[in-house]
Amino acid sequence: MFNLNESKPYEIFNQSCYGLTPLSDNSIDALITDPPYGISYQNHAWDKALPDKQIWADSLRVLKHGAFGLVFSSVRLMHRLMVDLEDSGFLIKDVLFWVYLNGMPKSRDIGLEIDKALAVESAVVGQYDYVQGYKKGGADNYYTETKKLKYEPCSELGIKYKGAGLGIKPAYEPVILIQKPLEKGLTVAQNVIKYGTGALNLEQTRIPYAKGESKVGHNPHPNGRVSANILRVDELEDGYDKFFVIPKVRQSAEKFNHHPTLKPVELMHHLVKLVSFEKQQILDPFMGSGSTGIASIQLKRQFVGFELEADYFAICQKRLDLLT
Ligand SMILES: C[S@@+](CC[C@H](N)C(=O)[O-])C[C@H]1O[C@@H](n2cnc3c(N)ncnc32)[C@H](O)[C@@H]1O
């Protein structure tokens, strides 16, 4: 077992997380991880299947009693992941929804597919800029690749089903809040006294009042509202922002980070604060380019991470080096 301290606040491993062999039982204060979703995202081999549930049993072993965890998930396979977590001994406490604006619907025009199946030629009715996606920075910042031809169905059935598709715009990702049970026989307070774990850090995760808001509720807290299980990084300016928007964190863009499922640092700051207190140790068994680690170190926590791919591990190492 290694020793982490203020001058060496992290330990990262370029190896598979299964077994979590370098870690002792009951030694870690919180788990935050964004594991493979099992949806073959952009055809990445590492995303072909959900993790084997062995890793959740391993995580339970190394976490302290009462420790909380946050596990990102896909909407489609969240149910399987939740069952795996529960079967491994975790309590399911909540599901947070991280709401975002830049998700693109993955769909096709079934009217055109019907034309094709019936061997009817669809009509070319113009062209459009093919939008691949949004760059970091939001909705004003989309990039276009090429002009593409625009078609309309021509068969009778194709016209009937014109515009029918297969999916709606994804606008949230679930984050499952779990907890390792308290030590048998202990109350929450006794567990916190013994291990420092068992309570959420609500004071550090308050959502500040909106500009100009004078008083909220009968007994307003000076630092804002208790954070909710809906989280937003983007503002929608619709009146609900004041409940859900996480304050921005000053951060310069790291151009070298090409991890395909990089998480926003504001979001990771919020999650780290929610399930841990200063100087505690946070584990991410699927750290990718290390967003959990960056947020943990910036918030004076300690970090232990695992990443299988050498390429992503190197990005994580570079990001951590830039912090120290
Ligand atoms: C969804 S990504 C995490 C991205 C991360 N949140 C970020 O912001 O960069 C999941 C990562 O788990 C890694 N991975 C998959 N199987 C693993 C294993 N058995 N052990 C360690 N890492 C693994 C993948 O290579 C991938 O980088």
Domain layout of the chain by residue ranges = 10-101+171-323, 110-160
Q: Using CB atoms within 10 A of its CB, is residue 138 exposed (0-12), middle (13-18) or buried (19+)? A: middle
Selected from 2.60.40.10, 3.40.50.150, 3.40.470.10, 3.40.50.300, the CATH number assigned to the domain covering 10-101+171-323 reads 3.40.50.150
- pLDDT band for position 239 (50/70/90)? confident
Mean pLDDT is lowest, of 176-180, 220-224, 310-314, for 220-224
* Residue that has been written with the tokens 């700051």 in this structure: 269
Three-state SS at 265:
helix
Does 306 sit in the ligand 1 pocket, CB within 6 Å?
yes
Nearest residue (CA) to ligand 1, atom 7: 262
Tokens read off for 174: 């679930």
Mean pLDDT is lowest, of 33-42, 58-67, 211-220, for 211-220
> Which of 52, 70, 289, 307 gets mutated to test ligand 1 (max ligand atoms within 8 A of its CB)?
307
Does 173 sit in the ligand 1 pocket, CB within 6 Å?
no
Does 291 sit in the ligand 1 pocket, CB within 6 Å?
yes
pLDDT of residue 41: 87
Region 277-298: mean pLDDT is 97
Does 34 sit in the ligand 1 pocket, CB within 6 Å?
yes
Q: What is the pLDDT of residues 110-137, one digit of tens each?
A: 999 999 999 999 999 999 877 665 454 4
Task: Say if CB 210 and CB 179 are below 8 A apart.
Answer: no
Nearest residue (CA) to ligand 1, atom 12: 286
Instruction: Give, as one character, the DSSP assignment of residue 248.
Output: P
The CA-atom distances, in angstroms, between 73 and each of 1, 43, 80 are 30, 17, 10
Q: Using CB atoms within 10 A of its CB, is residue 279 exposed (0-12), middle (13-18) or buried (19+)? A: middle
> Which of 59, 272, 286 gets mutated to test ligand 1 (max ligand atoms within 8 A of its CB)?
286
Q: Is the pLDDT of residue 138 over 50?
A: no
Task: Say if CB 62 and CB 22 are below 8 A apart.
Answer: no
pLDDT of residue 1: 60
Expressed in angstroms and rounded, the spacing between residue 312 Cα and the centre of ligand 1 is 8
Give the torsion through C-alpha atoms of 35, 139, 168, 75, to 10 deg: 20
Expressed in angstroms and rounded, the spacing between residue 305 Cα and the centre of ligand 1 is 10
Q: Are strands 28-33 and 142-152 parallel, antiparallel or unpaired?
A: unpaired
Expressed in angstroms and rounded, the spacing between residue 84 Cα and the centre of ligand 1 is 18
* Residue that has been written with the tokens 């640092």 in this structure: 265
Q: Is the pLDDT of residue 47 over 60?
A: yes
pLDDT of residue 227: 93
Report the chain's mean pLDDT, rounded to a whole number: 91
Write down the number of H helices and E strands in the chain. 9, 10
Region 260-288: mean pLDDT is 95
